[in-house]
Amino acid sequence: MSQSPIPTPSSREDEALARHREELRNRFPMPTPTPRKPRKALGATILLVLLGAGLMWLDPAYQSEQFHTVIGERRVVKLVDGSRMTLDSDSRATVAWHLRSRRVELQAGQALFDVSKTLLRPFRVDAGGAQVNVLGTLFSVSHLEDGVRVTLVRGVINVNDRTAAKHSVQLVLGQQVDVRQHLLQQPIAVDTDAAIAWKDSRLIFERTSLAEALAQIQRYRKPAIILDDPSLGSLPISGVFDNRNVEDLLKLLPSILPVSLNSEFDGTLHVRRKATKK
């Protein structure tokens, strides 16, 4: 009769360890391992993050609107952010909404901007050689014959020229600055009520040069006004006039200045030096 082999000490220890390991597995099961993300998915995630950061840095536009007025028309536009843009006669502007900013390009004429304040999306106006940057304020931008004029009515704004050097000036209440031939001029103090009187259908001249006065009158008249003698351009003119009837204003000029008016068949008006009597 055969006998079973007597377990050696080492085999008894192995059996005991095996029983303990099994008991530990039953009491403390190991968590199911989480499958590792494929490298391809991880790369796509990183690419999306970088793309989003790039878009924010580039600040692309996602919507734009165009507005214009004809000669003699004035239009108040309420923008979706609560800001208001008042376009004067014969003006044209494009409003663009960007991811990080609000932008207006004033291509012609003049406009008054009452900007709602926000810290996240600054408001910018580009006009000719000028760029205006604000957070919330009231200001006007006007196209001139040889440049752009910015007038601050409320708040604080930064005005830049659009040269490579991009010079900048900060305007405070009651200041005005011109950007001529893309170069920033020195700010001056002005009567802001007179500067934006056009919104109430008025033209206010206070020793304004005839050349500048005629340029303002031209906004409200389709046929051209031509100053035949440039030396007349510095003559001063003062008064308050209705910009809805500039023809009456033009007829007054010979009675207050040494000028005469001559009209062509198409309405073109020539302003000339009044002939002296012999």
Domain assignment present for residue 212? The answer is yes
Same domain as 254, residue 182: no
Structural domain count of the chain: 2
Over residues 106-154, the pLDDT tens digits come to 999 999 999 998 767 899 999 999 999 997 899 999 999 889 999 999 9
pLDDT band of 263, cuts 50, 70, 90: very high
Domain assignment present for residue 167? The answer is yes
Judge if pTM exceeds 0.95. Answer: no
Two tokens, residue 19: 């029983």
Same domain as 265, residue 225: yes
Same domain as 210, residue 157: no
Same domain as 228, residue 180: no
Mean of per-residue pLDDT scores for the chain: 86
Over residues 205-222, the pLDDT tens digits come to 999 999 999 999 999 999
Please, what's the b/e burial string for 195-204 (b: 16 or more CB within 10 A of its CB; e: otherwise)?
bbbbeeeebb
Same domain as 252, residue 139: no
CB atoms within 10 A of CB 125: 26
Select the more confidently predicted residue: 233 or 50. Answer: 233
Contact (CB, 8 A) for 187 and 169: yes
Over residues 65-105, the pLDDT tens digits come to 999 999 999 999 999 999 999 999 999 999 999 988 999 99
Same domain as 170, residue 123: yes
pLDDT band of 54, cuts 50, 70, 90: very low
Nearest alpha carbon to residue 121 among 67, 166, 56 = 56
Sequence-distant (≥ 6) Cβ neighbours of residue 86 within 8 angstroms: 74, 75, 76, 77, 111, 112, 113, 114, 199
In angstroms, the CA 104 to CA 126 distance is: 6
- High-pLDDT (> 90) share of the chain, %: 69
Two tokens, residue 112: 């008054």
Domain assignment present for residue 145? The answer is yes
Same domain as 152, residue 205: no
Domain assignment present for residue 46? The answer is no
Over residues 1-42, the pLDDT tens digits come to 555 555 555 566 566 566 656 665 665 565 555 566 556 656
Domain assignment present for residue 34? The answer is no
Same domain as 170, residue 151: yes
**CATH code at position 251:** 3.55.50.30
Domain assignment present for residue 100? The answer is yes
Domain assignment present for residue 35? The answer is no
- Which residue carries 């009452």 as its tokens? 114
Sequence-distant (≥ 6) Cβ neighbours of residue 154 within 8 angstroms: 137, 138, 139, 173
In angstroms, the CA 150 to CA 106 distance is: 12
Same domain as 127, residue 169: yes
Query: Of 150, 166, 193, which residue is a domain's last?
Result: 193
**CATH code at position 185:** 2.60.120.1440
Two tokens, residue 87: 């376009």
Same domain as 168, residue 72: yes
Over residues 233-249, the pLDDT tens digits come to 999 999 999 999 999 99
Contact (CB, 8 A) for 90 and 71: yes
- State residue 181's pLDDT score: 87
Q: Which structural domain, as residue segments, surrounds residue 76?
A: 61-193
Query: Of 170, 193, 216, which residue is a domain's last?
Result: 193
Select the more confidently predicted residue: 135 or 51. Answer: 135
Stretch 166-193: mean pLDDT: 94
Same domain as 246, residue 136: no
Select the more confidently predicted residue: 184 or 58. Answer: 184
Does pLDDT of 63 surpass 70? yes
Same domain as 256, residue 146: no
Domain assignment present for residue 39? The answer is no
Nearest alpha carbon to residue 252 among 191, 194, 205 = 205
Query: Of 193, 219, 252, which residue is a domain's last?
Result: 193
